[in-house]
Amino acid sequence: MQIARKYLEDAEERLRSNDFKGCVQYSQLAAENAAKAVVATRRTPSWGHDPSSELLEVARELTAEHEGRAARLAEISSQLAPEHGRTTYGEPERFVTPWALYHLQAAERTIALAREAVAIMNQIVAMSSDPASKLG
């Protein structure tokens, strides 16, 4: 959880400094690690950058309410996963660097998804750490 939250803080800082590539990069990492935090409530997450399939497997073990939230988190993680490569390498086939790919609107869209991902993570993991809760 701490990793996802810290990456979100880094994304917020990059947005404030108009580093749009950095904002997208850290937003993707925040969403990825939010998904992995939920996976970790049940098992060790993999090392990939798109944990959405693992999360959907874990979601089946959760309550119906949390299953829906986990499905949304998986959707966000999957949507942002390609940005890991794009923020690192750009689009070499088009000779576009990572810094040339992103603008304010892209950064704002991506950070909004990262904020949602971290909020979902917080909801699901808070319930899993509450001994009175029934995750599934």
Residue with tokens 């304010």, as numbered in its chain: 104
Q: What's the CATH code, domain 2-129?
A: 1.20.120.330
At position 111, the amino acid (one-letter code) is I
pLDDT at site 135 = 41
Q: What pLDDT score does 48 carry?
A: 86
- Per-residue confidence (pLDDT) for residue 126, from 0 to 100: 87
Task: Give per-residue pLDDT as tens, 86-104.
Answer: 999 999 999 999 999 999 9
CB 34 within 8 A of CB 118: yes
What residues are paired with 96 via a beta bridge?
A: 91
H helices of the chain, in order, are 2-16, 20-39, 52-59, 64-80, 82-89, 98-101, 104-129
Residue 136 has a pLDDT of: 40
- Low-confidence stretches of the chain (pLDDT < 50) are 131-136
Residue ranges of the domains in the chain?
2-129
